[in-house]
Amino acid sequence: MTASATDRPLLALVLRLGGIAGIATMAALIKIASDRGVHIAEIIFWRQGIAIPMLLGWALARGGLASLGTKRPRAHLMRSVYGFVGMVLNFGAVILLPLAEATTFSFTAPLWAVILSMVILHEKVGLWRWSSVVAGFAGVLIIAQPGGHAIPLGGAAAALGGAFMVALISLQIRDLGRTEKPVTIVFWFAAISTLLALPALPFTMRVHAIGDYALLAGIGVAGTVGQLLITAALRYGQVSSVIVMDYSALVWATLYGWLFFAVLPPAATWIGAPLIIAAGVIIA
């Protein structure tokens, strides 16, 4: 495949690193908010709702709201629906699992990408990539320890489902990025997914303390900045290249888990995580 005129690999890697730091910070704040009694539906609403004025302000500062216009509404709608499902799964995984384990399971996205490339793009998958997929899922089994109740299996399933959606959405964003600006992609996702979250609010929203609203605002800001940077990275670099930077999230997750929850990953995670990471690196 020939390089696109917009390909800038080094910039893409730097953007992805910054984006992952923002998303890791958002995940830690989500877990804190959930521990304080904020429902996941409300977290999603505030996460996306806060993004809308931020993105509108950004667009106005960069030349006007015309930059948010699109000729591909169906593509944005599909990306938003998939993204909403992925958000529910990934937020649920963060709430149900320790941060390091939820983050490690998210690293299976490249493994799912191999499977999707075969099913959707009809690519031939060679021995190296299939071997990596097997090794990566072996790492998942080591961490999850099915039958041993080391971690909640519901949380593990949510995390794996969220990683699958990330792989699927990355292909969509790469396609959208050929014609749409990063701010346009993120804006329409925020607007559509906010509407999707609305029906649940009458059953879940309640009055919170000021500190809880500060947490929700932090989730929105960190998530929006992180998503903008991640989306921009996919505009300037190949999915298979920039996704390697995602493994820096384990550093943030371990740090935040220790600082905020006094939890460090058990031995099973330190054994399984290298298998998953090595598999992703080989695939990339």
Nearest residue to 262 (alpha-carbon basis) of 1, 18, 32: 32
d(CA 148, CA 129): 29
The model's pTM: 0.85
Residue 234: the pLDDT is 75
d(CA 28, CA 94): 8
Residue pair 68/59 in contact by the 8 Å Cβ criterion: yes
Residue pair 16/245 in contact by the 8 Å Cβ criterion: yes
Tens-digit pLDDT profile for the chain (284 aa)? 445 546 777 888 889 999 999 999 999 999 999 999 999 999 999 999 999 998 898 888 877 888 888 889 899 999 999 999 999 999 999 999 999 999 999 988 888 888 887 777 677 777 788 888 888 889 888 887 766 666 888 899 999 999 999 888 888 887 888 888 888 888 999 999 999 999 999 999 888 999 999 999 999 999 989 988 887 887 787 766 777 788 889 999 999 999 999 988 888 888 888 898 888 888 76
Q: What is the DSSP letter of 121?
A: S
d(CA 125, CA 111): 12
Residue 171: the pLDDT is 81
The DSSP secondary structure of 33-79, one letter per residue, reads HHHTT--HHHHHHHHHHTHHHHHHHHHHHTT-GGGG--S-HHHHHHH
Residue spans of the domains in the chain: they are 9-283
